[in-house]
Structure formats: C-alpha cells, structure tokens
Amino acid sequence: MLASASAAVLAAVPVSAGSSATAATSVSPATALRRLERGNTRSVNGNFKGKNYSPLASTPAKGQQPFAAILTCGDSRTDPDFIFDMAPGNLFVVRNAGNVVESVGLGSLEFAADALGVSVIAVLGHTECGAVIATEGSLTTGDMPGPHLDSFVERIIPAVEELPTGHSMNDAIAANAVYQARQIQARSSTIADMTASGDLAIVSGVYGLASGRVTWLQT
Ligand SMILES: [Zn+2]
C-alpha cells in the first residue's frame, strides 16, 4: 500500500483555473501538488532555499495566501515546512496525534479552503507513528487508553481494523492517512462542493522518517 502512486495521484487531481471567488488568484490543485513534490525533493536532497524566517524579512503581517493545507501528526519529527521546504505563508497546517479528523481540525481545514483558498488538502501520515502503533496495541489487547488519549485512538481504529491479519505497521499508517482524507471529503459539504467543482483536491501520503521522502497514496 506504500508503493509510490505519485504519477497516478497527480493524474487524478483535477486541473482547474479555479472558479470560486477565493480561488481567483490561487493555483490549480495539480500545480499545488507539484509544488509540494518539488519542495519535498529539495528537502530530501538537503537543497533548502535558504529562506530567512525572520518576520522582518518577509511579509506575513500583510496577510496570507497559502496554496496548501496539511493535516499531519504532532510528532516532533514531522514538520511540514521542512518536509516541503516552504516559508511561512505557504502552508496552512493542522496537527494532532495521528493526523485524525475531528471537529476543530475539520473546521480549520474548511477555513483554509473556503476563506484562504488553498488548492489542495494533504493528509500526511508518517512512518513510526506512535498514535497508529498505540491503536494497533489497543486492537490487539482490547484495552483502550484513558480519557483524551482515546480520542485519537478511536478515530484511527476504523482505518485499521478492516486490514487483513498480518498487515504491516506501514500498511496501517497508510490506511489511516487514506481514511482520514476520505473523512474530510465525507464530513464537510463545503469541502466536498469545492472538490466537485475542481477548485480543490484532497490527497494523502506518508512521510518516511528515514528517507525524508513523501510517498503519495491513492485516496
Ligand atoms: Zn505520528
């Protein structure tokens, strides 16, 4: 399931100049995804653009027009700005343990899509994800973690409990990223309308901690 699907994913992403008011000056979903891919290649190669992150050196105070929203894990090793070599102002980021879809995060993604005009929403899991490992543990033992910790485990369970016996942890991590991407589409009519019109694409992928590379998945 972790096999690279980059070309197929790109082919499935609609090419649109955008038709909503907020998308008038934004890029197409396909262009947004290519930006992420090129940025990840720079990151893998250590070929960072050498951006100056000082607020005095850029213009974030004048407003923002991010081209992509990222839902990813809170893991300290998964920083989207570094994974995609992006300066402040480019990525709208929502993070929690296990990159799960819940109400506040979903509302935040709606805001990014509807008000800020991002062209792509990427759900980004990662190898060695402790939240998915904990979920697999709960499924094995039948014991749920305590209050609050169970809030992400219970949202990952539907993604992995249908996998065949003997699946790998990477299979579970990929399945969770795909499942959460589908949850965004299924639960937000605002976002679903934008994907239907071609202004927005939802993709999913897994960030490899060892390689630094993002492998895109079929959502
Ligand atoms: Zn994680």
- Reported as a single tens digit per residue, the pLDDT across 104-117 is 999 999 999 999 99
Residue 90 inside a domain? The answer is: yes
Residue 54 inside a domain? The answer is: no
Q: How far is the CA of 62 from the centre of ligand 1 (A)?
A: 33
Note whether 1 and 175 are within 8 A (CB): yes
pLDDT band at 17 (very low <50, low <70, confident <90, very high): very low
With a cut of 90, say whether residue 10 has pLDDT above it: no
Lowest mean pLDDT among 25-29, 88-92, 145-149: 25-29
Looking up residue 91, the CATH number of its domain turns out to be: 3.40.1050.10
Lowest mean pLDDT among 19-23, 68-72, 89-93, 200-204: 19-23
Domain of residue 190: give its range.
6-46+63-217
pLDDT above 90: percentage of residues in the chain: 78
Residue 57 inside a domain? The answer is: no
pLDDT of res. 64: 87
Residue 112 inside a domain? The answer is: yes
**Residues whose CB falls within 8 Å of the CB of residue 116, separated by 6 or more in sequence, listed in order:** 22, 64, 65, 66, 92
SS (H, E, C) 136-175: HHHHHHCCCCCCCHHHHHHHHHHHHCCCCCCCCHHHHHHH
Strands 214-217 and 120-126 come out as unpaired
- If one counts the domains in the chain, the total is 1
Q: How far is the CA of 72 from the centre of ligand 1 (A)?
A: 8
- Count Cβ neighbours within 10 Å for each residue of 144-180 and write b for 16 or more, e otherwise: eeeeeeeebbebbbebbeebeeeeeebebbbbbbbbb
Higher pLDDT, 75 or 18: 75
Q: How far is the CA of 114 from the centre of ligand 1 (A)?
A: 27
- What is the rounded average pLDDT of the residues 157-161? 97
Assign 64 to helix, strand or coil: coil
Residue 71 inside a domain? The answer is: yes
Strands 68-73 and 91-96 come out as parallel
pTM of the full structure: 0.89
Residue 192 corresponds to which tokens in the numbers above? 């679903």
Strands 120-126 and 91-96 come out as unpaired
pLDDT of res. 1: 40
Q: How far is the CA of 92 from the centre of ligand 1 (A)?
A: 18
Q: How far is the CA of 16 from the centre of ligand 1 (A)?
A: 33
Residue 89 inside a domain? The answer is: yes
Assign 94 to helix, strand or coil: strand
Q: How far is the CA of 201 from the centre of ligand 1 (A)?
A: 23
Note whether 207 and 122 are within 8 A (CB): no
Closest CA to 194 of 27, 18, 38: 18
Task: Read off the DSSP letter of residue 67.
Answer: S
Residue 56 inside a domain? The answer is: no
Q: What is the CA radius of gyration of the chain?
A: 17
With a cut of 90, say whether residue 163 has pLDDT above it: yes
Question: If residue 215 lies in a helix (H) or strand (E), which one and from where to where?
Answer: strand 214-217
- Reported as a single tens digit per residue, the pLDDT across 20-77 is 434 445 799 999 999 999 999 999 999 998 677 666 666 667 788 899 999 999 999 9
d(C-alpha 217, C-alpha 219), whole Å:
6
- Phi, psi of 112, deg, nearest 5: -60, -40
Assign 3 to helix, strand or coil: coil
Q: How far is the CA of 75 from the centre of ligand 1 (A)?
A: 5
Residue 76 inside a domain? The answer is: yes
